[in-house]
Structure 1
Amino acid sequence: MDWSDQKIRSEETWAEIRRQWEAGETGASLARRYQVGLANLWRRRASENWYRPERVDPKPEPVEGWDRWARAKLEEFELRLAEQRAVAMVLAAAMRGEASPAGVPLWHVGFVLEWRAEHLGPEVAARDRAWLTEAHPWAERFWNDEGRLGRAGFLDAVTLMANREAWREEMGLPPGAAEDVP
């Protein structure tokens, strides 16, 4: 047997192959450059637990540039924060009994009614029921046959299904798209 064709490489060579592979070079290019079998390179990689950290591509710069993009995002954030705080103030006033739940955004009515029923007593709960069922007849489903108010999750589901088209429009769903949602 002619051993002159054997491709036995030194440990220093393998250490360099490993460093370059872990730095991101492909196995195929290293196998060609150092004249080692690709299968042998993969075996060494597996047996010696070579590790290549995941490289994350940098986020591409927006067309308008980072400064304008960041200012626009800051404006969006501040607007969203102001809107959330305004809703929080309305919810807080209604939950403390300082305001009627009539001003509460529709999607939060179930949560507020449940809280008011638990914390403000049966008289407030009865007034809330009279107001809501007059304003929204579908809301009668909020209460069971014994007159007990459902839990907030159930109330949210009733509200969503009774106002399905309004929700779909608010979410930007075109007619005919994703008809099974919600």
Structure 2
Amino acid sequence: MSQGIHRKIRSDAVWAEVRKAWEDGETARSVARRYDVGVHALWKRREAEGWTRPEPKAGPVEPAEGWGAYVQTRRDAFEARLADARALAECLVEAMKDERLMRAPHWHIPWLYRWRADHLGPEAAARDRERAVEMGYVWAEAFWDEDGALRPLHRLDAEMARLHPQEWRRAVGVPEGVEVGLLLSLREKVGDPRACPEGRSDEGLHQP
């Protein structure tokens, strides 16, 4: 007597797992072996039920110079920026120790004053003002209000730019002919809505 063909019967739950595994990217042979369903049966199910896989995502396009040179160039640029940032940080740390700010990078002086006032307290801010007057710095009267309080940082930045318009143009890249006063007033307006409290006006400080 001949034996009949043995058919593997699997539950719908098993086939649901088979489908998910295949649609997630596992090969048909691997899935069939893992769930003991047979590759031919898997293909028949796939056709009958319309199993699909998402379209493979295109990888990044290799640059003309090759990935090795590309990565090296990007790494060199990153390390250069990192070195610049560390050099600036070291410079600022040293500048914080000197109340006269003699070695402070020009455009970071406002931030240094603001940092000292925020972290070292009003006594340090008062000493900074005294030192600025003593050293004859042009910003001595512009950085502090009539009560001796240091102005907000965006105001200090704007004052520094107003006091050194040509240097500011070169640093920012603003060509001659563009109205600096207009740019500074816009900077103040968007910088902090609390810059001029109600009942007070400091517009005169921002005239070119």
Contact 1:139-1:158 within 8 A present in 2 as well: no
Q: Distance in 2 between matches of 1:66 and 1:174?
A: 39
Q: Distance in 1 between matches of 2:106 and 2:58?
A: 42
Q: 1:68 is matched with which residue?
A: 69
Deviation at 1:137, TM superposition (A): 0.8
Distance 1:173 1:114, change over 3 A: closer
Q: 2:48 is matched with which residue?
A: none
Letter in 2 for 1:70: V
Q: How does 1:6-17 map to 2 (within 5 A)?
A: none
Distance 1:148 1:177, change over 3 A: closer
Q: 1:117 is matched with which residue?
A: 117
Distance 1:57 1:82, change over 3 A: same
Letter in 2 for 1:158: E
State the number of aligned residues.
Answer: 127
Deviation at 1:155, TM superposition (A): 1.0
CA deviation digits over 1:134-166, x for unaligned, max 9? 353144211111222112221122122323322
- From the CA coordinates, give the structure whose radius of gyration is larger: 2
Q: 2:147 is matched with which residue?
A: 146
Could you tell me the TM-score, scaled by structure 1's length? 0.52
CA deviation digits over 1:30-81, x for unaligned, max 9? xxxxxxxxxxxxxxxxxxxxxxx9x98955735x554434323322221211
Q: 1:89 is matched with which residue?
A: 90
Distance 1:65 1:152, change over 3 A: same
Q: How does 1:1-182 map to 2 (within 5 A)?
A: 61=63, 64-95=65-96, 98-100=97-99, 101-133=101-133, 134=135, 136-176=137-177, 181=183
Q: Distance in 2 between matches of 1:168 and 1:66?
A: 39
Q: 1:23 is matched with which residue?
A: none
Deviation at 1:125, TM superposition (A): 2.7
Residue identity over aligned pairs, in percent, reads 37
In structure 2, runs of 5+ residues without a counterpart are 1-54, 185-208
Q: Distance in 2 between matches of 1:162 and 1:73?
A: 38
Distance 1:69 1:174, change over 3 A: farther
Considering fraction of residues, name the structure with more helix: 1
CA deviation digits over 1:90-115, x for unaligned, max 9? 323444xx334322222221222122
Q: 2:51 is matched with which residue?
A: none
RMSD of aligned alpha carbons: 3.4
Q: Distance in 2 between matches of 1:167 and 1:87?
A: 19
Letter in 1 for 2:152: R
Letter in 1 for 2:111: F
Q: Distance in 2 between matches of 1:86 and 1:170?
A: 19
Could you tell me the TM-score, scaled by structure 2's length? 0.47
Q: Distance in 1 between matches of 2:63 and 2:176?
A: 35
